[in-house]
Amino acid sequence: MKQPKLVLGLIVALALLLRLAFLGSIPAGFSPDEASQAYSAYSLLKTGHDEWGLSWPISSFKSFLDYKSPLQTYLMIPSIAVFGLNEFGARLPSALFGTLAVIAVYLLTKKLFVDSDPNLPLVAAFFLAISPWHLQFSRTALEVNLASFLFPLGLYYFLEGLERPKSFLKATICWSFCLYTYHAAKVFLPLFVLVLVYQYRQILTRSLKHLVGPLLLGLIIVSPLLWGTFFGQAGKRGSDLLITTLSKEQQISLDRETFYSKLNQISPKLPRLFHNPAVFSLSKFAENYVSYYTLGFWFTEGGREITYSVIPGRGLLYFWLLPLIIWALFDLFRNPKNRPYLTILIPWLLLAALPAALTKEGYRPNRAGSFAGLWEILAAYGAVGLSHLEFKYKKVLSFSFIFFSLILTLFYFEDYAFGSRVNYPTAISYGWREAIAFVQGVEPHYQKIIVQRGSQSQAFVAFYTKYDPMLFQQASAEWNKEIVKAGDLKYLDQLGSYRLGKYSFEDLNWPEDTNAHTLYLSQPSALLPPERHTLHRVEVPNGVIFEIFDFKK
């Protein structure tokens, strides 16, 4: 392909357009994670403290008590300073870094397949530019999206460092900050780097004097993260998500299986060989791990958690990529000259699922973010390889494949841009902006506003009302006292009730909560009292998702 720089520029422009167009309104919803991170950035911008009163946290943000990785939040600060506390300002850093990831994948593919077709890096960049799951990550303020830029860029500099050792410093910087992007990177990246060190140990041994500086710098950058992970609350939160931390229900199930096992007739100890936490965890890990390599997850079903605009019944990748990936894997393994490529791609492929497999819930696209870029590189290798083959009816089959791919791609964009608001409004937290805007308009007429507890609704209230961070910090100081009393809480909204100025977040109980001076914001329910006076409903084509009412006569 002539003028590769021009073509790359067009691909990057396409990637930027697809990530920036209507960014504030598509996806239609706005997740509580996005709202929380954006408000944390807003609070830091205004006061130098996050909403919990902590001054410039380094290793993690307390958020809902889930201790989010910090890099995304810090990147939001300049964006919110310029564009304000809104959806566009919150998502802009993710969209920009999602675009930069296209360039990083181009550079990595060019370095990795240095002796291959020069069009291969451009095809890989194009596939990532239009990738469904990467678009979904880039158009929401997800921490994992930053890793899709920092990891391949760091790998590019590492491979370059094997020839020019000074590039190891750049690799160290990229990978060190990558550890601050998302919890999964803390598992995947160290393991992947250990594999690289082993595979290239002879070259690295000859470059030891060039590695001392990067290693020291990397240690300095990640030391706060290491401290927070091993000794802070972020590490405790991470351990709560591991499959080895059994819930009460799981432990009861194991005890029941042990008690009713027929093996008890032989020996009471025998059932424990088959029904114990270690066996259960190992079995769950194997089940989770395999699930991230199934065709259903990637090409037909997609993720089970649709909070992040993932579309159920539609895979994370285009179905037309499947034959390209299959051919790529076949061709890579059959040809001995491809072994240098496999030393990178196979560890990447096998290790990428580990972080997700170690957690309790399976089929989580955001936890499988370490795959980002890999499938697109493989598909590009397959596409370029197939283009060089000569076979009967090649032109007809190629045209049919391109036409089929274009149709599937257009259907995906229609579904993502327009269908999700209709089909999954509550899953993508749609409607909060409209609901809170109405509440703000009538708020002066009420002494109290009760918001139905759940979905971390305090984040939406703070975000959409641009709540004074100083007042929020005063409220969160009181929440801290209640959290200590309550004991081991996984999320803030597990508190029985808590307040933010006029706003009280609690379960609605009738008739106890009936008050003429109170405004209520709730999702529709048959349990709502019929005598309520409905002021406003947030509606979508398939029903009502929010109702605002009072009991004034």
Q: Which of 423, 458, 488 is at the close of a domain?
A: 423
Could you read off the pLDDT of 419-471 as tens digits, one per residue?
Answer: 776 677 666 788 899 999 999 999 999 999 999 988 899 999 999 999 999 99
Q: What confidence category does residue 241 fall into, taking pLDDT thresholds of 50, 70 and 90?
A: low
Mean pLDDT of the chain: 88
Q: Is the same domain home to 419 and 480?
A: no
Give the DSSP letter string of 255-278. HHHHHH-GGGGT-TTHHHHHSSHH
The whole-number pLDDT of residue 271 equals 67
The per-residue pLDDT for range 122-181, each reduced to its tens digit, is 999 999 999 998 998 999 998 889 999 999 999 999 999 999 999 999 999 999 999 999
Contact 378, 328 (CB under 8 A): yes
Residue 2 has pLDDT above 70, yes or no: no
Asked if 348 and 465 sit in the same domain, the reply is no
SS (H, E, C) 55-67: ECCCCCECCCCCC
Location of structure tokens 């979904």:
136
Any idea what the Cα angle at residue 176 is, between residues 170 and 179, rounded to 5°? 145
If asked whether residues 463 and 417 sit together in one domain, one would say no
322 and 198 in one domain?
yes
Is residue 341 within 8 A of residue 374, CB to CB? The reply is no
Band (pLDDT 50/70/90 cuts) for residue 114 is confident
- Count structural domains, the chain: 2
Place of tokens 């002539």: 2
CA pseudo-torsion sign 416, 417, 422, 428: positive
Q: Comparing 280 with 176, which gets the higher pLDDT?
A: 176
Residues 408 and 484 in one domain: no
Going from the C-alpha of 240 to that of each of 12, 185, 227, 275, the distances in angstroms are 40, 17, 18, 21
pLDDT at 313 over 80: no
Which pLDDT value is given to residue 540? Answer: 80
Which pLDDT score, from 0 to 100, does residue 430 have?
85
Whether residue 549 has pLDDT greater than 80: yes
Confidence band of 256 (pLDDT split at 50, 70, 90)? confident
Question: Tokens 């005063």 belong to which residue?
Answer: 474
The 10s digit of each residue's pLDDT in 208-240 is 888 999 999 999 999 998 888 777 666 555 566
447 is a domain residue: yes
Structure tokens at 84: 């304000």
> Which domain covers residue 538, as residue numbers?
432-550
Residue with tokens 């008739």: 511
Q: What's the pTM?
A: 0.92
Which pLDDT value is given to residue 148? 95
Structure tokens at 86: 């809104």
**pLDDT score, position 239:** 61
Same domain, 477 and 387: no
Q: In 119-247, which ranges are continuous DSSP H helix?
A: 120-129, 132-138, 144-161, 167-178, 185-199, 201-206, 208-231, 233-241
Helices (H), 335-456: 339-351, 354-357, 374-387, 394-414, 420-423, 432-442
- Is the domain of 418 the same as that of 504? no
In a domain, 255, yes or no: no
Give the pLDDT score at 247: 66
Compute the distance between CA of residue 415 and CA of residue 420 in angstroms, rounded to an integer.
6
- Strand 543-550 versus strand 533-540 pairing type: antiparallel
Q: What integer pLDDT is reported at residue 392 of this predicted model? A: 82
Please report whether residue 257 resides in a domain: no
Alpha helices by DSSP H, 23-62: 32-47
Query: Is 275 contained in some domain?
Result: no
- In this predicted structure, what is the pLDDT of residue 174? 97
Q: Which of 82-86, 147-151, 287-291 has the least mean pLDDT? A: 287-291
Question: Do residues 232 and 100 share a domain?
Answer: yes
Domain end (from 382, 403, 423):
423
Of the residues 361, 393, 423, the one at which a domain ends: 423
Quick one: average pLDDT of 49-62? Answer: 94
62, 181: one domain: yes
Say which amino acid occupies 38: A
CA distances in angstroms from 106 to 81, 124, 190, 378, 391, listed in the order given: 32, 6, 23, 13, 29
**Residue 325 to residue 329: CA distance in whole angstroms:** 6
Residue at 254 is within a domain = no
Residues 385 and 529 occupy one common structural domain: no
Q: Classify residue 494 by burial, with Cβ atoms within 10 Å: 0-12, 13-18, 19+.
A: middle
Whether 271 is covered by a domain: the verdict is: no
In this structure, the answer to whether residues 378 and 482 fall within a common structural domain is: no
User: Of the spans 252-256, 362-366, 428-432, which averages the highest pLDDT?
Assistant: 428-432
- Over the stretch 316-352, which tens digit does the pLDDT of each residue have? 899 999 999 999 999 988 877 777 788 899 999 999 9
| Residue 104 sits in the same domain as residue 230 | yes
